[in-house]
Structure 1
Amino acid sequence: MFGPGSHFHDLRNDPRWALALIRATVLEAAHPQIGAALIDNSTFVAHPWRRLRNTLVSLHRMFGADDHTRHREAARLNRLHARLSGTDAQHRPYDALDPGVRAWVVATLFDSAVTMCRLSGQPLEQTAMERLYAEFQAFLATLGDQAGHLPHTLHEFWPYFDRMVEEELENTEAMRIILYKLFDRLPAPPLLNGLPTLWAAGRTLAGPVVGAITVASLPEPFRRRAGLPEIPGAQTLMQSAYLAAGLARFLPGGWIRAEGIADLLALSPDSDDPRARTITALHDRIRRAGALIRLISPLPAPPPDPTGETDVRRGAEEFFRAVLDQTGDGWLDWPDLAAMARELAGRLDLDEPEETRLYHAYADWWRELQSALDTDGDGRVSAQEYAMAVPSLAGPALIKVAEVLFDVTDKDGDERIDADEYRALFRTAFRRDTDGGEGGYGRVAFVKDFLSFMAGRRRSTPYDPLLADA
């Protein structure tokens, strides 16, 4: 059911997954419980590339050949989902551990895999479809969910899927954001972070096209109920896109490997990856061309602020948006800090005791921030409330977060973060200016740098990619 020889393993690097995963995500977000959980807790708006990379890593762990890795990842996912519960805007409860909700997530992945094959002119045969369905059932069983929430047979699955589409799905806020806002505002991946003009031009062209393709691929009953527009030519565009993606499978295997593409998108200029040097050189050439254009037709400079206060406020609010507001809803509250803990725990692949310790440290910091910054008592912190207090916020709870993060990164407990431990946390080469001349990154230096970063005093540090990257 897993690893080489499984149908999912054969399909995992298929370029058509790029379209199918967007479709599956829209169908997931249309479920009222999942949509509410995404709005309240997910980083998919502010950090979509990071979210995509983490999803790919998780899927490959779950469907890989190593049983130990698979069960360890299943336990991590269960701990993650156990922390996601609440109520939506209509006061309806949601719970990420609800077995019916988890079954729907698996159902959307399976249906989208079948759909991508059909739309690209290579439909799965019945036996292959049944085998793929059994693999997704095994995936759900590995998470510990009892049989029955997902139909036992493929013959029973299709009526279940049609009923969910026609009766349970809604035109949720999360679904509308994915379809109509996410691609319009999609930040550049780290790979293209220094090329805003190029990225904005490409996004302007690609965003509406991807949205039209995704809407056209959704089940017709849901499109009708949700009031999604029928765009002339969208069906032809959709089938052409899937056919083109299907042809891309004949490219050399290394070109379309999902993990490789995700790693490339997340590559930072100071990485020790050999590809970083080529990308940095390309960036420099493009910047020089842009500088020449600006010399020919310079843009007017903004008027200076004689007090200097605007520049300080803008810096604080920009740090608030890029780092603190992890969910992208314009506020700082507990889901934002929980997202930080979730990202760091995932990077370091922590076991339960270390992960729980990190979450508790962030929870204490949230209580400290709420007490110091929530001046109007609404239970959350605005960018303005934060900007008024920065950069003097580095209390005992934030120091504790830094201490715990150092402990869980220092796997061997030698009180130094060595090159391998550094790479696991920062995903980049060891910085020589942090070793203190002692062959590692010591606790005192680490805590000092972390506090400077999280208090908003320093932003040009190796800590930026930790929580600020899209």
Structure 2
Amino acid sequence: MFGPGSQFHALINDPRWALAMVRATVLEAAHPQIGAALLDNSTFVAHPWRRLKNTFLSMQRMFGADEQVRRREAARLNRLHARLRGTGADNRPYDAMDPAVRAWVVGTMFESAVTMCRLSGQPLEQKTMERLYVEFRAYLAAMGGEAGHLPPTLAEFWPYFDRVVEEELENTEAMRIILFKLFDHLPAPPVLSGFPALWATGRALAGPAIGAITVASLPEAFRRKTGLPEIAGAQTLMQGAYLAAGLARFLPDGWIQAAGIVDLLATSPHSDDPRARTITALGEQMKRAGALLRLLTPLPRQPEHEHTGDAPTQYSAQEFFTEVLDQTGDGYLDWPDLAAMARELAGRLDLDEPEETRLYNAYADWWRELQSALDTDGDGRVSAREYAAAVPSLAGPALIRVAEVLFDVTDKDGNQRIDADEYRALFQTAFHRDIATSGGTYERSAFVGEFLSFMSGRRRTTPFDPLLAQA
């Protein structure tokens, strides 16, 4: 069912899987409960690359061969989803632990995997399709999902899928954001942050194309129901994209590895990863070439600002609010934003109970402190203007408590110091050489001070910047 030899394992490194997952995400977001949960809690708008890496890592753990790893990941996901419940903008409740909702998520993944093969001219054989369906049902069972909410046989799955599309899916705001806004405004992945002009040009071309390809690949009944546009040539473009992606299977083994690509995209340009250093060096060469070209052109020279070669050491209040505090990208600071921070930190550290709950509780206390200090209009959230007017209030006792708890859960061996391995577990690709350490350790006071300096002083030179700010 899992690991090497499974049908899913054969698909995970297939380039077509990227197109299929975008399609599956749209079908998930069109479910009213999932769409509301995404809008209220997800970081997919402000931090899409981080979300991609976390999702891919979770799927690797769940579909890997190690049963113990799968059980721990299932328990972690269940704790995460249990915290995602509330009421959407339309006053309808949502609950990420709803068995029918969880079954639909798994169903969209399976159906999109089958569709990607069909659209690229390589339809799965019946036995292969049935085996893949058994594996996805096993995935749902490993999560603790109730078997009755996903039909027991493949023959019964297709009527189930059509019924949900016809009766339950809607033209949700989350779905529209994914299709028509996300790719048009997609931030550069961390490793390409030094190429803003190149990224903007590529995004302007690729964004609309990805949206058109995704729309064209969706079920006709769904497109008709939600009023999605019919774009001339979109079907041809979609089929060409799937066919081209399918041809990548003829490349030598190892050239297309999803795990390696995802890791590279999420890598900080300042990390120790040699691939990131290569890209950074290429960027410097491009800058020098651009400067030389400007010197050789007859155009009048523009005033130049002094350049030190280093990134600015401070955020502006607006930048810090947008890039760090507003994790969900809705323009406000509220509990889901701080919960997203706790979720990212707990995931990196692979925390179990009770440490995970300790971290969430510390962030919850900080949210209550922030709400009391900054929410001047009483609407239950903090706007960028309210934040800018009371920045010093960020560094209160509750934030200090967050720093203390974060140190405790990072210090796995409890020796009151963080060694290099523990440090890397938290910061991974953001392990900077310029962080002050003593004898390969990181003392509590220095760690707490660095965290407080970032969260209240808005310093850009700490390792927390790639951890919480990058896309």
Q: Please, what TM-score do these two structures have when normalized by structure 1? A: 0.95
What do the CA deviations read for 1:227-284 (whole angstroms, capped 9, x no partner)? Answer: 1011111111101100100011222332211110011111222222222221121111
Corresponding letter in the other structure for 1:328: G
CA deviation after TM superposition for structure 1 residue 292, in Å: 4.2
Corresponding letter in the other structure for 2:53: R
Corresponding letter in the other structure for 1:410: D
In the other structure, the counterpart of 2:177 is: 177
In the other structure, the counterpart of 1:51 is: 51
Corresponding letter in the other structure for 1:124: L
Question: 2 CA distance for matches of 1:17 and 1:78?
Answer: 25
In the other structure, the counterpart of 1:144 is: 144
8 Å contact kept, 2:183–2:203: yes
- CA 436–264 in structure 1, closer or farther in 2 if over 3 Å, else same: closer
Question: 2 CA distance for matches of 1:128 and 1:346?
Answer: 34
Corresponding letter in the other structure for 2:359: L
What do the CA deviations read for 1:339-371 (whole angstroms, capped 9, x no partner)? Answer: 000000001111121110000000000001111
8 Å contact kept, 2:332–2:383: yes
Question: 1 CA distance for matches of 2:89 and 2:396?
Answer: 34
8 Å contact kept, 2:315–2:460: no
Q: Secondary structure of 1:34's match?
A: helix
Question: 2 CA distance for matches of 1:343 and 1:41?
Answer: 12
Q: Secondary structure of 1:427's match?
A: helix
Matches within 5 A, 1:69-218: 69-218=69-218
In the other structure, the counterpart of 1:458 is: 459
In the other structure, the counterpart of 2:38 is: 38
1:262 aligns with 2:267: no
8 Å contact kept, 2:324–2:468: yes
8 Å contact kept, 2:435–2:462: no
Higher mean Cα deviation, 387-396 or 413-422? 387-396
Corresponding letter in the other structure for 1:149: H
8 Å contact kept, 1:434–1:445: no
Question: 2 CA distance for matches of 1:337 and 1:299?
Answer: 46
CA deviation after TM superposition for structure 1 residue 145, in Å: 1.4
1:406 aligns with 2:392: no
In the other structure, the counterpart of 1:308 is: none
- Superposed CA RMSD: 1.9
Question: 2 CA distance for matches of 1:167 and 1:300?
Answer: 60
- CA 289–416 in structure 1, closer or farther in 2 if over 3 Å, else same: same
Higher mean Cα deviation, 243-252 or 384-393? 384-393
Question: 1 CA distance for matches of 2:215 and 2:157?
Answer: 23
Question: 1 CA distance for matches of 2:75 and 2:300?
Answer: 56
Q: Please, what TM-score do these two structures have when normalized by structure 2? A: 0.95
1:357 aligns with 2:363: no
Question: 1 CA distance for matches of 2:412 and 2:448?
Answer: 17
CA deviation after TM superposition for structure 1 residue 74, in Å: 0.4
Q: Secondary structure of 2:415's match?
A: coil
Higher mean Cα deviation, 263-272 or 173-182? 263-272
What do the CA deviations read for 1:59-118 (whole angstroms, capped 9, x no partner)? Answer: 010000000000110000000000001111221110000000000000000000000000
CA deviation after TM superposition for structure 1 residue 414, in Å: 1.6
Question: 2 CA distance for matches of 1:444 and 1:313?
Answer: 22
1:342 aligns with 2:343: yes
Give unpaired runs (5+ residues) of structure 2. Answer: 305-311
Q: Secondary structure of 1:50's match?
A: helix
Question: 2 CA distance for matches of 1:165 and 1:76?
Answer: 29
1:425 aligns with 2:410: no
8 Å contact kept, 1:391–1:457: no
- CA 432–208 in structure 1, closer or farther in 2 if over 3 Å, else same: closer
Q: Secondary structure of 1:86's match?
A: strand
Q: Secondary structure of 1:434's match?
A: coil
- CA 34–430 in structure 1, closer or farther in 2 if over 3 Å, else same: closer
Question: 1 CA distance for matches of 2:440 and 2:315?
Answer: 38
CA deviation after TM superposition for structure 1 residue 421, in Å: 1.1
In the other structure, the counterpart of 1:305 is: none
Higher mean Cα deviation, 374-383 or 389-398? 389-398
Q: Secondary structure of 2:65's match?
A: coil
Percent sequence identity over matched residues? 78
Matches within 5 A, 1:209-248: 209-248=209-248
Question: 1 CA distance for matches of 2:326 and 2:266?
Answer: 20
Question: 2 CA distance for matches of 1:140 and 1:468?
Answer: 33
CA deviation after TM superposition for structure 1 residue 298, in Å: 7.5
Higher mean Cα deviation, 415-424 or 226-235? 415-424
Question: 1 CA distance for matches of 2:228 and 2:330?
Answer: 24
What do the CA deviations read for 1:267-325 (whole angstroms, capped 9, x no partner)? Answer: 222222222221121111122234345665579779xxxxxxxx999810110000000
Corresponding letter in the other structure for 2:267: L
8 Å contact kept, 2:315–2:459: no
What do the CA deviations read for 1:165-185 (whole angstroms, capped 9, x no partner)? Answer: 111100000000000000011
